[in-house]
Amino acid sequence: MSSMQEQLKNLKDEAIIALNEINNKDSVMQWRSKYIGRTSKLASVLKNLKDIPQEQRKDVGQLVNAIKKDLESAYLQRIDDLNNLDIDTHPSVEIDISLPGMPSRNGGLHPITTALNKTLDVLSKLGFSSIEGPEAETSKYNFDSLRIPDDHPARDMWDTFWLNASDADDPLLLRTHTSPMQIRFLEENDPPIRIAVPGKCYRYEATDATHEWMMHQVEILAIDKNISISNLKGTLQSFAYEMFGLDAKIMLRNSYFPFVEPGVEMAVFFRGQWLEVMGAGMVHPDIIKAAGYDPSVYTGFAAGMGIERIAMLLWDIEDIRYFYQNDLRFLNKF
Ligand code: DAH
């Protein structure tokens, strides 16, 4: 074998050893240009074939081409192997099976979701089925049909986010409460009615420990023949027992909401403190009349409860803002 042929075989061996040591695709590309590319040693031997003595020329040419072909297929095979390595675990990484495992992080429900689900479960036991309404609401449903006209001082109770895409006569807003769904539901359904309406509500106001600009409410509405305020009190009492346990005390105080008459506010005493959790009352006769029913035959009660307030009571949380800061130190406790 001529020294030229020997050199070529050594070159091939060197190339194969180098290729097998490569563990990433970038280095394989570099390897390729070094050993079989246009500027490689092989390429220059082929290019200078004419300088080789006549009797060796054919053999050397064939050898170079055979080596090139072998290296080319070794290269393709290596690429293939590396692709498979990406999928399987890397065999050259040693695994110490005695090390403790990596803990996997479990997701969980946000405390407000849990409180909302619990509220709806309790209400469902009391006979109320859930239904949702729109968050972008018209002024008519959010205010007017609930007996809160434009110039009514009660509108000041709800600082409002108005939406740009608005009809001047009936502007759109982010609903300030879930009460508009009372009207929407009454327009489409006949008594007897027992609904619970969960959802987000928005108020343009400064946040503090008990106020957020976005919060969740659940509205309840019951309309039937012979519903009296004792049904309201009984329902609220049972609700408090189911939610907070038989130690829970409730307090109803007179309050004013334009869509009920009389109106009350309910506070719950739990873990040593009173916290306001809902407004309630007997549905105003004008609302029953506007829905097409005779208020001397059909009566009803309504209530709107704050889910953040309920969650604060349930888990003894002193600041409503914790719910929406996305701080894992807080969220991990639930
Ligand atoms: N919508 C009232 C609010 O957000 C709460 C409320 C009060 C709802 C009395 C009611 C009710 O259904 O009867 O402040």
Over the stretch 204-251, which tens digit does the pLDDT of each residue have?
888 998 889 999 999 999 999 999 999 999 999 999 999 999 888 999
Using pLDDT thresholds of 50, 70 and 90, give the confidence band for residue 42: confident
| CA 179 – ligand 1 centroid, Å | 6
Query: Which of 107-111, 140-144, 158-162, 291-295 is the least confident region?
Result: 158-162
Spatial neighbors of 84 by CB under 8 A, at least 6 apart, are: none
Q: Is the pLDDT of residue 85 over 80?
A: no
Q: In angstroms, rounded to a whole number, what is the distance separating the alpha carbons of residues 103 and 106?
A: 9
Residue 39 CB neighbour total at 10 angstroms: 8
Residue 217 annotated to the active site: yes
Query: Across-strand partners of 305?
Result: 218, 278
Residue 302 annotated to the active site: yes
**For range 199-208, the mean pLDDT:** 92
Q: In angstroms, rounded to a whole number, what is the distance separating the alpha carbons of residues 334 and 331?
A: 6
**For range 139-160, the mean pLDDT:** 84
Token duo for residue 52: 């080789």
Using pLDDT thresholds of 50, 70 and 90, give the confidence band for residue 44: confident
Judged by DSSP in three states, 282 sits in strand
Cα 265–Cα 269–Cα 275 angle in degrees, nearest 5 = 50
Q: Is the pLDDT of residue 92 over 70?
A: no
Residue 260 annotated to the active site: yes
- Find out whether the peptide bond into 191 is cis, omega within 30 degrees of 0: no
Q: Is the pLDDT of residue 91 over 60?
A: no
Q: In angstroms, rounded to a whole number, what is the distance separating the alpha carbons of residues 261 and 280?
A: 9
Q: pTM of the predicted model, to two decimals?
A: 0.70
Contact of 215 with 306, CB cutoff 8 Å: yes
Q: In angstroms, rounded to a whole number, what is the distance separating the alpha carbons of residues 142 and 126?
A: 27
Q: Best substitution site from 253, 257, 266 to test ligand 1's pocket, by max atoms within 8 Å of Cβ? A: 257
| C-alpha to C-alpha distances, 188 to 162, 182, 183, 185, nearest whole angstrom | 26, 10, 9, 5
**For range 22-41, the mean pLDDT:** 88
Q: Where are the alpha helices (DSSP H) in the chain?
A: 3-21, 25-35, 41-47, 54-87, 111-125, 139-142, 180-188, 229-244, 285-290, 307-315, 328-331
Q: Best substitution site from 179, 219, 236, 261 to test ligand 1's pocket, by max atoms within 8 Å of Cβ? A: 179
